[in-house]
Amino acid sequence: MICLAEGFLGSVQHRGGNQRVPHLVKDLPEVSVAPDTYHVSPEPMLLIADLHGALALCLHDEGRGVGGLLHLRFMGGTGRPSDVTDNTLSSVLVVLDRFKRAVLGNASPRDEVQARILAHALPPTDAGEPSASLVDLIQADLADGKIACGAQTMRRTEGVRVCFQPFEGRVWICGPNDLRAAGRAHHSSG
């Protein structure tokens, strides 16, 4: 199950700079997942995505003890959700399909599979927002595969850091300077 560090299903924990990182996270190897890539692991580790105009899809298969983080930027470079075009749809669905296969294998999704989308977008402008965004596209694709998926979009100027333990299915949000230095983390190439 995807849960916050203290164990509540479907929630996201916000960590301030003055709060301590749970002791179980301190000794885990860190992997920084670059934009437009993903990382999947059955091992205890900490996957980190620094979001700014982007989203992180955390997918966890409780039965197999495997999880992964897909880090995608919003198209258009505006830092805001953008319209989904045919080209966007095609390229995102290819990456999403590879990511799901890496986490789920060839097995059909079961009740033990959980997903959570955490997105960062700049505050809205006077211009109209798109009626369908990348978050909506991914949620619809997961729903077609009978995978439950919660989503949360944070609209603010400062970026956020998503931390995910793929083996345990725990996800939380902290500021970009919280936890250990991201520069020490290994980088993922997908």
User: Domain 13-188 falls in which CATH fold?
Assistant: 60s Ribosomal Protein L30; Chain: A; (3.30.1330)
Distance CA 58, CA 1 (A): 11
Res 150 pLDDT > 80: yes
Strand partners, 71: 37, 56
Confidence bin at 105 (pLDDT 50/70/90): confident
Q: Please write the tens of the pLDDT for every residue from 1-29.
A: 444 443 333 334 433 333 344 445 668 89
Furthest-apart CA atoms within the chain: distance in Å: 46
The pTM of the whole model exceeds 0.85: no
Boundaries of every domain in the chain: 13-188
Q: pLDDT tens, 58-97?
A: 999 998 889 999 999 886 555 555 555 666 677 888 999 9
* Residue-by-residue DSSP string for the chain: --B-TT--BT--EEE-TTSPPPHHHHTS-EEEE-TTEEEEESSS-EEEEEESSEEEEEEEETTTTEEEEEEEEPTTSSSS-----HHHHHHHHHHHHHHHHHHHTTSPP-TTEEEEEEEEEPPP-SSPPPSS-HHHHHHHHHHHTT-EEEEEEEE-SS-EEEEEETTTTEEEEE-TT-SS-GGGSEEE--
pLDDT band at 56 (very low <50, low <70, confident <90, very high): very high
Average pLDDT over residues 98-106: 91
Instruction: Summarize the confidence of residues 46-64 as an average pLDDT.
Output: 94
Nearest to 163 by CA among 175, 150, 153, 151: 175
Residue 118 has pLDDT above 80, yes or no: yes
Instruction: Inform me whether the pLDDT recorded for 119 exceeds 60.
Output: yes
> Pick the residue with more confidence: 15 or 159?
159
